[in-house]
Structure 1
Amino acid sequence: MNIIAVDDEKLALESLQSSILKAAPYDAVFGFRNAEQALSFVRENPCDVAFLDIELRDMNGIDLAREISSIHPQVNIIFTTGYSDYTGQAFELHASGYIMKPVTEEKVQKEMEVLRYAVSHAEEKLLKVRTFGNFEVFKDNQPLNFRYNKTKELLAYLVNCGGSLCSNNEIICTLWDDEHDVSSHISYMKNVRGDLLKALEDVGAEDIIVRQRGKLGVRVEKLDCDLYGYMQGDPEMLKRYHGEYMNQYSWGEYEKGKLDNRL
């Protein structure tokens, strides 16, 4: 599902996103520090759940909730606030939930379990992705072809991040393992990014990618992926994991450690 988080305080937004990701690790979470950015996103993308701080500078969370609901009538609005004064207005809007700050994983989890509007998980799977062993990606049982080796690695890293948006700098530092000279890889990164988008468009799978101001992510609900099934406790995927994960890529070792801990 697509989840947005809106809070104009940087640390509060980071804490909110962190709590949501812990409660829903393989859903796509998008954070915004002002109402207009959030509205711009929901006008162009599906939105299933919106965590909104009520005390925003440019538009209060109540008004923002009305705007979002007019675009997506069955969005689940969950307000976050340090004050109890707004509970009446929240209920008038038929909000799904109300969290008193500080926001925690447990509070988020509780609200996610009782959403007002059911969220359908029956999304069409556009690609089959295999991460156990070597990373491979298929459309109609045929492997995707990329111009550059780094293109496939870029897609692998986005899949590994499970719906989180990744900045160009983060991607470059990871794929080229060169955090001290990011600028020298920017041109190549543009080519790799363009190659990825073209390859996906060629097979009708461009909708798996989320783009936002120099960041990339994947829509996890559009992928038939062994990693995501494993993390959600799918018995078949639990049986398929034998201690090997994205063997081609050194950065996969960190995620492999987390998978091993679940054995």
Structure 2
Amino acid sequence: MSLSIAVCDDDETDLRYITGLVGAWAERARIPVSVRTFPSAEAFLFHYEENRDFDILLLDVEMGKLSGMDLARQIRAQDSFVQIVFITGYSDFMAEGYDVSALHYLMKPVKPGKFEEVLSRAADLCRQERPFLLVTSERETIRVFFDDIYYAESQGHYMILYTRETQYRVRLTVPGLLEQLDQGFYRCGRSFVVNLRHVCRITKSEVFLDNHSSLPLGRGQYDEINKTMISYLRSI
């Protein structure tokens, strides 16, 4: 299994050091990895908008205008599976790390032995199965990962699943689909099911997703979807 790892730190010396530790660990563990470095949280987000392909994030906490903790909150709202490890010289933010389900909090200067132990744990977690939906579409049986689904729309006797890569037409009802999904999905009005992992803004009449699409919100659903969203975010 190949791993994609991002290192984000605004200190160039620390960035090189951590990247070197990743390379040394990968060689000893005999795990193929691709490593991408970012000098700021903003630089990472610019890349992440188009390429959400990371398995492990190694984030400095204290960085410029947008901190590593703020970055982690944005990422966690969209991805409940990526492994987050904070690397910092300060212990003040440790309690906040639990809010974003961080795997570990490494203190600078980072000790190679401890770093490799944490990275090995992260790699083990990455090997665990992501939840998925098994669907039959166009005479094919396909595994669709929950986090790849943006939303689903009811059309007659079928549901259209809109995912990162394509669309799938599946013979299912809205209730039938919801039975197979987890608490990260919410029914909008009569015809739509939205993936809360991808919701970035909610108004009285619409739900906006991080792929720049929007869905109509049923009358009286505003308070309910907000409560559901908060409950979901607290559970991940």
| TM-score bucket (shorter structure) | 0.3 to 0.5
Greater share of residues in strand? 2
Higher relative contact order, chain-length normalized (CA < 8 Å, sep 6+): 1
TM-score (norm 1): 0.43
